[in-house]
């Protein structure tokens, strides 16, 4: 059961990351701060699944993984 929960959390986190990269997170923010993240990636994915799940049809997790890989590589190269 914990393996299923872990996989679900990873998929939700990656979905939230991809949604944020597409700029969809601004639609779900309650305040006017637009230059930083206000809600967590997991909460963003949950809100999208709950309120507009059709957005997930256009979501490419592969593109999100590539962006995550590039950011991680840049972070490693700095140190």
Residue range 12-35, pLDDT digits in tens: 898 888 888 888 888 888 776 777
Domain that holds residue 32: 2-78
pLDDT at 33: 73
Residue from 63, 54, 55 nearest 17 by CA: 63
pLDDT at 38: 82
Query: Can you read off the two tokens belonging to residue 28?
Result: 């779900």
Distance CA 16, CA 22 (A): 10
pLDDT of residue 79 exceeding 70: no
pTM: 0.75
DSSP states of 33-68: --SS--S-HHHHHHHHHHH-GGGGGG--HHHHHHHH
pLDDT of residue 57 exceeding 80: no
Number of domains the chain is built from: 1
Q: Compute the average pLDDT of residues 45-57.
A: 85
Give Dmax (Cα) for the chain: 40
């Amino acid at each position: 059961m914990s393996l299923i929960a872990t996989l679900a959390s990873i998929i939700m986190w990656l979905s939230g990351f991809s949604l944020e990269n597409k700029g969809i997170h601004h639609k779900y923010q309650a305040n006017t701060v637009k230059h930083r993240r206000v809600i967590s990636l997991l909460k963003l994915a949950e809100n999208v699944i709950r309120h507009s799940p059709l957005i997930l049809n256009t979501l490419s997790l592969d593109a999100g993984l590539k962006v995550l890989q590039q950011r991680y590589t840049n972070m490693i190269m700095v140190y």
